[in-house]
Amino acid sequence: MTKTEKNTDLQKPQLRVTLFTDYICPFCFIGDLRLQHLQEDYKVLVNFRFIEIHPDTPKEGTTVDTLDYSDEQWQGMMAGLVEMAHEEGIQLAPVRMLANSHRALLLAEAVKQEGREVFYNFNQALYREYFIAGRNIGDFEVLNEIAHRSGVSDAVIEKAWKDEQYEKILQMNMNMAVKAGVTATPTFFIGQQRLTGAVSEAKLRQAAEAAIADGKAKQESRS
């Protein structure tokens, strides 16, 4: 980020978002892209709460046939997904494999300590490698490659696999999701609003405007 970009960022209203998400969820990818559009007008600070939506998936991954969808449900969901991806200017690879996301989530939690820029690079790279390149993000070698390319240090990568704190964080995230009544990913908490699914950019902006207005009203009431 350049000095000019930093100064511009400081002038924007600060928007805090809590996001429950998983890297194997295609609608989370779409939601993440749409949330990025808000950076044009806000300094968006996202509290990523990673939760594992298919923890029973084998470590090596499996086919999407194992998911509990009828052919009609799956085709309808994929048609909607392709349309949303097209709106975001991306072309998804055919969704045939379901990766085990546990290792990716552990690594993502560890990468947070590398700073915002490195984390966001890694975050987007994971989505793109899985949904556009069709790679298995449950594989150690694939994850290591993505992490190195995103600027993650060897020390952080190694810590992700060995430090039990990241397992505890994932469990804490799941507990928080249950307590908050989160039943699907992505789920956004923006101000007083909860938005579930790959909601439109317009709805995200409406929630952002309401959150900023509410924050200003609270400040004025204190003064």
Confidence check: pLDDT of 2 > 60: no
- The answer to whether 107 touches 157, Cβ cutoff 8 Å, is yes
- Structure tokens, 176: 């928080």
pLDDT above 90 coverage of the chain, percent = 79
Tell me the residue length of the chain: 223
Q: Give the Cα separation of 118 and 151 in Å (integer).
A: 6
How many C-beta neighbours within 10 Å does residue 209 have?
16
Q: Give 162-187 pLDDT, tens digit per residue.
A: 999 999 999 999 999 999 999 999 99
33-68 core/surface letters (b: 16 or more CB in 10 A; e: else): bbbeebeeebebebebbbbbbbeebeeebbeeeeee
CA-to-CA dists, residue 4 to 27, 118, 123, angstroms: 33, 19, 24
Q: Give 18-70 pLDDT, tens digit per residue.
A: 999 999 999 999 999 999 999 999 999 999 999 999 999 999 999 888 887 77
Domains of the chain: 3-222 (3.40.30.10)
